[in-house]
Amino acid sequence: MKFDYDAQYFNPRDVLECGQVFRFYPFEEGYRVFSADKECYLHSDGIKTVVESEDTDYFYDYFDLARDYSRIISAARAFGVKVLDEACDKAAGLRLLNQDKEEMIFSFIISQNNNIPRIKGIISRICEGLGQKTENPRGAYYTFPSASALASREADYYKSLGAGYRDAFICDTARRIADEGISKLFNLSDEDLRRELLSYRGIGPKVADCISLFGFGRRACFPVDTWIEKLYLEDFGGQPADRKKINAYFMQMFGEYSGYIQQYLFYAKRSNL
């Protein structure tokens, strides 16, 4: 089964290469993309972007296709910020994903002080070791393991897969989620969700904001990393400040659009688009 969408506001490269997702790789004319236990083939001819999957409803939501991103681009331009206008010109095909919540918790624990190729490798090895092997016409893949499966291993297992000091964070958080679940997080306010995420071992402010934005759909979040610090200093005339102050500055400026704008700015800055 498959469906297509206007490529102007759905560019596979922009969506996948902007740092919000780690389980994908180039395949034929596009990419294979994995989320939880599901898979799709994503490709585009520059006019239409096509999603092929046995789980089309899931991926329609995953790629946030019910949302009109032309309106989001218009709202971003209305702030009258030159660097943001330029980012919107270059990355209009970017969309924020609605990803699996548990997967995002562990993925962004792994992401801290790490680079994207290494993050992808660690997650891939975890899936191969603890996920379920699944077959479809495009070939085999491994599902993202449940918290219970992750909790079944000791920290040294994750160290052996390259997780480094994050090994204990994965292990401890997996055991907590296996015991408690995460349903209690679903209906919290943005502030309370962030506070609760910070109570998990290995989750700091930036990781909590990423999990909130990419896993829980909290679009007013504005994660701050080294690229955003650089942007703040070089493009917004900011003075050296801690990340809490930078976060507050951008959230006050961009309000409910903070998450979208963060991705436009981050992706354009990091990629030098």
User: What positions carry a catalytic annotation?
Assistant: 206
Cα-Cα end-to-end distance for the chain? 34
Alpha carbon distance 147, 171 (integer Å): 9
Is residue 268 within 8 Å of 14, Cβ to Cβ? no
Side chain identity at 54, as an amino acid letter?
A: E
Which two tokens mark 210?
A: 């990423």
Report the alpha-carbon angle 130-133-30, nearest 5. Answer: 110
Tell me the chain's radius of gyration from C-alpha atoms. Answer: 18
Give the relative orientation of helices 205-214 and 243-254 as an angle to the nearest 10 degrees.
30
- What is the C-alpha separation between 2 and 83, in angstroms, rounded? 36
